Amino acid sequence: MAILSQSTTSFCPSFLSTRLTRFFPCHVTFCAPSLPNRLAVSSRLNSSQSPGAGGSLSPGNGDVPYELHHRYSRQCCQSGSRVFVTLPVKSVGRDGRVVRLKAMMFSLKALAAAGVEGVVVEIWWGLVERNGPRVYDWRGYEELFTMANKFGLKVRVVLAFHQHGTGPDDPNWIPLPLWVLDEIQKDVELAYCDRFGRRNIEYVSLGCDILPVLCGRSPIQVYADFMRDFRDNFRTLLGVIITGVQIGMGPGGELRYPSFSSQEPNLAWSRELGEFQCYDKYMLASLNASARNVGKREWGNGGPVGAGSLIQNPEHTDFFKNDGGSWNTPYGEFFLEWYSDMLLLHGERICREAETIFRGTEVHMSAKLASIHWHYITQSHPSELTAGYYNTFNRDGYLPFARLFSKYGFSMCCSCFEMQDEKMKKINPDGSPEGFLRQLLLVARLCDISLEGQNFSTNLDDGAFSQVLKMSRFYSDGIEKRPFSFNFVRMDKRFFESQNWERFTRFVRQMSDGNIFRARLNVASDVRLKTTAGMAEGGLLYHLYQHS
C-alpha cells in the first residue's frame, strides 16, 4: 500500500477493492520518528503499479521496496481545503452498536492514510431517542468517535431530526422516534400537508414549532433538549475531536419544506414543480392571521390556486408562468413572503437555541440549504418557491438565509458542487446547477460566512471532481481567503473500488494543495496495518457497504 506524496496519483490499497481477482499482502509500518517533524513510511508495493509515485520504481518480479519521508503537521494544513467523508447511513444500528465494527476500523484507517481531515457522522433522532421522550442512547456514536480519534480523524456530526428512506422495506429506513410517530397518529395535523391532502412525515411541521404537541414539549424544545444532552455527553470531545455540528432543520436535514421527493431526485430534476406545504391546521392558522393583518382575509384560506400539477411545464400554470403569472402580483408576493418568512423563523428558532447550547465549546456550527436548480433559468423559479426559497429572476431569496446564518455564526452547507450545466440540460433544459450554486456562493461571500460543499451523486468521474475544484475555488479564491471544506457523500461499496479510490485520493490531494499527509496515528508507538489475501477475500469492506 503506497502512501501518497505530493506527486503521486497511485494510492490504491488492494485490500479495499472488491473487484480485484488477485490480492497481494500489504504491510505498512508507521514508525515513531527520530526527529519531531519527519515520519518514515515503508511499504511493499506490487511492481505492476505505475511509476512516478514519489520514488523510483524499477521493474521486478514481485514486490519492490518503497520508502517515503514526509513533513507533517498534527494540525490542519494551512493552505487548501479540508475534505471530510460521510459515513454510511446505518453506521450505528438500532441496537445502539457500530455496524460491522472490524470493517469500519479498516475503513477509517484507509481514510486516515488517504489524508482526509475527518468523517461526517449522522446522528439520527429516530435512533437515539427512539423509544421515549428524553430517553437517549449515544453508545454507538461514542464508539464511532473513539475509533475516529484513534486514527487521528476529526468528526463532524449532523444532528438529523428527519426521517431517512422511503419506508420499512428500505434497508436504510430510519423513521422519526416511535413516540413522535404515535403523537402524529393522534394528531395528523403535526405532519405537513399539501392541497391534495397528502401528508408528509419526513419532518414535524414547522407550523407547530412552539406548541406543546410532543408529549408536553414543543418541537423546538425537543430539538433543544436533544442538542443539550448531546453536548453534555460529549463535552470533553467538543472542539477537540468533534469539530463541527450541523443542525438538521428540515427534510433531508435541509432548511426547507418537503415540497418534492427527497428520495427520488431524478423525478425532481425531470421538471417537478413541487407542492406548497401549508395545509395543516397550524400553517393555515398562521396564514389566516397574516392575511387579516394586511386586510385581505380572502388570502388566508390556503395556498395559491393555479399552481399546476406536480409534474408540469410552469408555462402551463396560472401561478408560475413567466408572463402574467400570479406569483408576480400583490397576492403572490404576500403569500410567498409569508411562506418563506415562516421557514426563516423556523431556522431562527433553531439557530438561537443551538448557539446558546454550544456557546463556548469551540465547535463550528452549520446548517444546510437545499440545492434546487431544476427551474433556475425560468423567471419564477417554481421548484425553489414551493421549497420555501422566495428566489426569482428579480429577487434574491437566499440572502436572508445567509444573513440568518451569519447572525448566529453558522457556516452554510449545500450540495451539487459536482454538477455541470452541460450535462444537466440534457435532462432538463430549464435547470442550471452552476447558476444556482454561483448565486449561493456569492451571498455566502457577501455575508462572510464559511462554506461546506457536498456532492449529490456518489458516481463521480474525473470531470465531476474537476467541477468540485472549480466551484470551490470560485468561492475561496481572492484577496481574502474564505474558509471552505468539502464533505464527500458518502462512503459506500463503490467508494473503495480501485478506480474510484484512486480518483478520490487524487482529489483530496488537489483540494489541500498537496499538503495531504498528516500524522493522525499515534506516532509514539509502532502502529501496523496488515492485510492478507484471506482478509480481503472475506470482503469485510464490501459487506459493510452492500446496503448503503
- The per-residue pLDDT for range 361-416, each reduced to its tens digit, is 999 999 999 999 999 999 999 999 999 999 999 999 999 999 999 999 999 999 99
* CA atoms of 271 and 431, how far apart (whole Å): 9
Per residue in 293-329, pLDDT (tens digit) is 999 999 999 999 877 676 678 888 999 999 999 999 9
Gyration radius of the chain over CA positions: 25
Tell me how crowded residue 122 is: count the other CB atoms within 10 A of its CB: 24
pLDDT at position 476, please?
81
pLDDT category at 478 given cuts 50, 70, 90 is low
Q: In the prediction, which pLDDT does 264 show?
A: 56
Q: What is the pLDDT of residues 101-159, one digit of tens each?
A: 999 999 999 999 999 999 999 999 999 999 999 999 999 999 999 999 999 999 999 99
pLDDT in the model for residue 57: 30
pLDDT score for 335: 98
Is 448 a residue whose pLDDT tops 70?
A: yes
Q: 312's torsion region: left (phi>0), alpha (psi -120 to 50) or beta? A: beta
The residue assigned the cell 498537496 is: 514
What's the pLDDT score for residue 482? 79
Mean pLDDT throughout 23-43?
35
Residue 30 pLDDT: 34
Judged against a pLDDT cut of 70, whether residue 491 lies above it is answered with yes
> The pTM is what?
0.81
Average pLDDT (178-197) is 97
Among 472, 364, 340, 462, CA closest to 415 = 472
- Residue 16, C-alpha cell as written in the block: 479495499
pLDDT value, residue 99 = 94
- pLDDT of the residue at 297: 96
Mean pLDDT of 231-242: 97
CA distance to 206, 281, 357, 404, per residue, from 210 (Å): 9, 14, 18, 19
pLDDT over 70 at 9, yes or no: no
What is the DSSP pairing of strand 199-204 with strand 191-193? antiparallel
- pLDDT mean across residues, the chain: 82
Task: Please give the Cα distance from 117 to 201 (Å, whole number).
Answer: 35
**Confidence bin at 166 (pLDDT 50/70/90):** confident
Percentage of residues in the chain having pLDDT higher than 90 = 68
Instruction: Tell me the per-residue pLDDT of 239-292, one tens digit each, with 9 for 90 and over.
Output: 999 999 999 999 999 999 999 865 555 544 556 889 999 999 999 999 999 999
Task: Out of 29-38, 339-348, 418-427, 486-495, give the one with best mean pLDDT.
Answer: 339-348
Q: What percent of the chain has pLDDT over 70?
A: 76
What's the half-sphere exposure (Cβ side, CA atoms, 13 Å) at 88?
28
